[in-house]
Structure 1
Amino acid sequence: MRTAWISIIFALLVFASKGDERTLDSLKEFGLGFHWPTKQKKIEVPFELHANLVVIPLKINASDTLRFLLDTGLGTTLLTDTTVFRQLGIKPIRQIELLGLGDGPSIQAQVLIDVKLQVGKAAAYHQNLIYVSSDQLNLSDYVGTKIQGVLGYELFSNLVVTIDYAKQRLILTQAENYRYKKRAGIRFPIALIDNKPYLQAAEIQSKKGPIANRLLLDSGAGHVLFLEDAGVDSSLFQFSAKPVNLGKGLNGAIMGKMGRVPELRLGPWTWSNVPTAFPISKFLKDTSHVQGGSLGGEFFRRFVVTFHYLDQYVVFKPIARRWRQKFELGLSGLGLRATGPQFRTFFVEFVEENSPAEEAGVLPGDEILMINRVRAGNYRLGEIYHLLKKKEGKRIEMLLKRGNSFQLVQFTLRPLF
C-alpha cells in the first residue's frame, strides 16, 4: 500500500536542539507540554483511522475543532490549511525553506509562535508551529479525508500516550500518575533523537543473517517497514527489479524499490516476508534524520502502543487476531488520490510498470467511477486500497472516465514482484 509515507515527509522539520534532555520538572517549570486543569489522572480522546494513520481532533487558540494527523516522527507541529491560517490571524515571525524527501525544489514555510494547542481537555500553551500553505502541501488528497495539520512531539513530551488501534482512542496520562504493569504489554527501550523515538530492539533478518538497524517509530506513516537503500543488494533481500513510486514526499515523488525482509522480530513476535520499501538515496537528499529506517502504521495497528518519552520506553500489547495477520502489499499497481468536498472522487495518481492495472490500460489522470459495479463514491480512499490488496487472484472491474470518454477495464490482482 502506497498511500501514506506522510511521516517520512516531515521528519526533517525539527527545531529543538539535538541532545536536549527534558525532565518532567523542567517541563513543568517552563509550562511546556500538555496539561489539564482537573485532577483526572488520564483522559480519553477518540480518533479516526484512515489508511493506518491516526486523525485526532485539535484546536489552535480559539479555533473550531480541526483534524490533525498524530505523528511520532514529527518534531514540530505543522499547520497545512490556508483557510485556518488566515482565520487565526497570527503574524509569522519569519519565513523558512523546507527541504525534505522527493526530487523537487524546497518549499516556503512560515514560523508562528506563542499559540495554544488543545486536544480534548489537554492544552499546551506558548507553542510554536510551522505553516505550509495548502497549495504546496495538500495532505487531504493522499490520506482521503480532511487533514489540516500534523501534531507530533509536543503531545508526547510530558505525557504517557497510549494509542489503542482497536478501539480507536487515545489515552493521555499524566506521567507522574503512570506505573508500568506487565498486563499493559511488553516494554522496550527507546532513544529520543531530535525529539523522535527510535527502537533498537527489533531484529531484521536478511538472507545472510541479522542486520543492525535503529528504527524510527513512525505513527505518521502508513507503511510496514522502511529501510535505507545504502548497501542493500539482492544478496540480502528480495526486491523489485525496477524503481517504483513509493509515494509523495515534501519535495515531490519518492522513488525506490519495494521488497520483502525474510523475517522481522520484536520480543516474542515474529513475522515472515515483511513488505519493505527501499527509497533511492538521492530522494532522501541530505535528510540525516533517517537512521536505518522506520516502522509505520501498518505495523502499529496490530497493537495497543504506549509511548513514555520521559522514561524512554514504549509498550506493545498485541491485539487479539491482529498481530498474526499477514502484511500485504498492493496487488494492482495503482496509486490514487481523493478530491471533492467529501474526498469521494478518486483519480489515478500513478500506475506502476508491468502491473495488472497498466496491462489493463489504466492511465494516470483517469477518474474512477465504479469498482466491481459499485459507485466509487461509496468508498473511502483507504477502503479502495484495501480492496486492491485484499486477495491475490481477485478480479477487479473499473469504470473510468478519461477526458470525455469512458473506459471499462478489468484486471486480476497479483503480487508485483
Structure 2
Amino acid sequence: MLTKYSSGVIICLRKLTICMGMVFLVFSVSGQEFLFKRNRQKQSIPFKCIKNLIVIPVYVDGKGPFDFVLDTGVGPMIITDPSIIDSLNFNMLRKIKVSGLGIETVEAYVSQSLDVKVGSAAIEHIPTAILKEDLFNLSGHLGLKIYGLLGYSFFNSFIVDIRYSENRLIIYDRDAKVKYRGKKISIEIENQKPYVIGNVELPDGNSVNARFLMDTGASHALSLEMLQGAEFPMPEKKIKANLGMSLSGQIKGYIGRVGKFSLGNYVFKDVVAGFPDFKTIAEKIDLSKRNGNLGADLLRKFNIQFNYEEGFIYVKPNGFSKAPFEHDMVGMVIYLDQKEYKRVLIGEIDENSPAEKAGLCPDDEIIGVNFKGVEGYTLNELTDLFKSKAERSVIFEIYRGKEVFFKVVRLEKRI
C-alpha cells in the first residue's frame, strides 16, 4: 500500500505492487484517536488474510461493516470507494494531490468529518483522504470488495497485537497490562509510519544494516531500493519483472534472492526481493530516509505486537516462519474485472516467463484451471497454485476474441 514510493499501499500479487506515493497537505491529527467505550481495556478482532494482507471490518458514519486493509504504510485513512459516505459534496472538500511513479497528478479530497468504528473502539473526525474512484482496483486484485485503507490513527491509538497464525488482532488500551512475547526490537515512527533496522547480506558476501519501512499493506517480502545513494546491489541471478503498478504506469525492475536477511536475532535465507529501477524511483521519491520496504510476506512469519507510543515491537516466530520464500512460477498478474467480479482477467505478463512462452496474453479471460471452472477458486488459491512446485503443468482454459483456447503452462522456478 509504501515509502513515498510506498507511502500508501504496496500490494504484491506474484510480486505485483500497487504503489501509491501520496503527498499530503497537513492533516491536524493532534488529540484524535480511537477510544474504547465503557472502560474496556482490550478486544480480539478476527481478520481475513488475503495475499498476506490484513482485511478488517470497519464502520463509517454508522454504516457497514466495510472491508478495509489494515496498513502500517499509510498515514491518514484512505477511502477508495466514496459510495459508502452519505451526502458527500466534493465541491466542499479541500483537494490534495496524489503523486507517484508513472503519474503527474491525481486529485483526492481531504475530510475530517467522518466517524469510524472498529470493534468496540471509535474515533471522531478521523483524518481521511478520499479518492473519487477506486484507482487502485484493490478489490479486483484481492478478489474481495475493499473500501479503503486504515493506518496510523489505528496503530497510534492502541498496542496492536497481530497474530498472523490465528488470523486475529488483539488491541489493547495503551494503559492496559500487556504480556509481551518474543524479541523486543526498536522502531521509529516518522511521518506516521514505522521504520526498523534489518541486516541484508550483499551479493559479495558482506552484510549491511539498512532502514526499512514496515509495511503490512505490502504483500511482498522485501523491496530493496537504495544503498549509499545508488541502486541496491543486485544478485547475479535475477529476472526482469513488472514489480508493480502505480496509479497509471508500470514499475519496472528485477526480482532476485537475498542470501540472508536478519531482523533482530532472527535470520531468513533465500528471501525473494524486488529491486525497482533506481533511476525511475529516485526521480519521483525521497529515498534519503530508507533503504527499502519490509512487506507482509516476511512480517507474517511472526506474531507482532506494535507499540507506536513507546517505539518498539515484539516479534515471535509462528508456524509460517519455516516456510520457504517462493516467487510466482507463472509470470503474470491476474485480477477480477471491476465491473463483473466473476471474470478473472490476465494483466501484465513478464518477459520470457512461462506464461509468455505458453502464448497467454494480457486481457485474456481465464474461465478454467486444470479442467475446473475458475469460479471454483479464490484468487488466494490461484496465487498459491502458481507458486506451488517447479515443473508442474497448469492447464488454463482461456476466452479470447469469442474463442476458447487451452494453454498449458509449465511452472518454472526462475530465481
What TM-score do the two structures reach when normalised by structure 2? 0.90
The alignment covers a number of residue pairs equal to: 400
Q: How far off its partner does 1:95 sit?
A: 1.2
List structure 1 segments (4+ residues) > 4 angstroms apart after TM superposition: 4-8, 13-17, 86-92
Alignment pair present for 1:143 and 2:142: yes
* 1:66-98 per-position Cα deviation (integer Å, ceiling 9, x unaligned): 111100010111001032245556864311221
Question: What is the correspondence of 1:161-240 to structure 2 with a 5 Å cutoff?
Answer: 161-181=160-180, 184-200=181-197, 202-208=198-204, 209-229=206-226, 231-232=230-231, 237-240=235-238
Alignment pair present for 1:335 and 2:333: yes
**Cα distance, 1:309–1:92 mapped onto 2, change above 3 Å:** farther
Contact persistence 2:226–2:292 (CA under 8 A): no
Aligned to 1:314: 313
Query: Which has the larger displacement, 49-58 or 243-252?
Result: 243-252
In 2, distance between residues paired with 1:355 and 1:195? 38
Alignment pair present for 1:58 and 2:54: no
Gaps of 5+ in 2: 1-10
Contact persistence 1:15–1:76 (CA under 8 A): no
**Cα distance, 1:372–1:338 mapped onto 2, change above 3 Å:** same
Q: Secondary structure at the match of 1:113?
A: strand
Q: Which amino acid aligns with 1:168?
A: N
In 1, distance between residues paired with 2:269 and 2:334? 28
**Cα distance, 1:171–1:11 mapped onto 2, change above 3 Å:** farther
Aligned to 1:358: 356
Q: How far off its partner does 1:253 sit?
A: 1.9
Question: What is the correspondence of 1:104-183 to structure 2 with a 5 Å cutoff?
Answer: 104-181=103-180
In 2, distance between residues paired with 1:62 and 1:89? 19
Contact persistence 1:244–1:257 (CA under 8 A): yes
In 2, distance between residues paired with 1:64 and 1:158? 21
**Cα distance, 1:330–1:391 mapped onto 2, change above 3 Å:** same
Q: How far off its partner does 1:292 sit?
A: 0.7
**Cα distance, 1:251–1:194 mapped onto 2, change above 3 Å:** farther
**Cα distance, 1:177–1:267 mapped onto 2, change above 3 Å:** same
Contact persistence 2:200–2:209 (CA under 8 A): yes
Gaps of 5+ in 1: 21-26
* 1:112-138 per-position Cα deviation (integer Å, ceiling 9, x unaligned): 122211111110112120111225332
Aligned to 1:69: 69
Q: How far off its partner does 1:4 sit?
A: 8.0
Contact persistence 2:73–2:193 (CA under 8 A): yes
Aligned to 1:324: 322
**Cα distance, 1:288–1:15 mapped onto 2, change above 3 Å:** same
**Cα distance, 1:110–1:362 mapped onto 2, change above 3 Å:** same
Q: How far off its partner does 1:199 sit?
A: 0.5
Q: Which amino acid aligns with 1:295?
A: L
Question: What is the correspondence of 1:264-275 to structure 2 with a 5 Å cutoff?
Answer: 264-275=261-272
Q: How far off its partner does 1:179 sit?
A: 3.8
Q: Secondary structure at the match of 1:137?
A: coil
What TM-score do the two structures reach when normalised by structure 1? 0.89
* 1:361-411 per-position Cα deviation (integer Å, ceiling 9, x unaligned): 000010001111111111111211110011111111110001111110102
Question: What is the correspondence of 1:384-395 to structure 2 with a 5 Å cutoff?
Answer: 384-395=382-393
Contact persistence 2:232–2:275 (CA under 8 A): no
Query: Which has the larger displacement, 172-181 or 89-98?
Result: 89-98
**Cα distance, 1:13–1:163 mapped onto 2, change above 3 Å:** farther
Query: Which has the larger displacement, 148-157 or 338-347?
Result: 338-347
Q: Which amino acid aligns with 2:127?
A: N
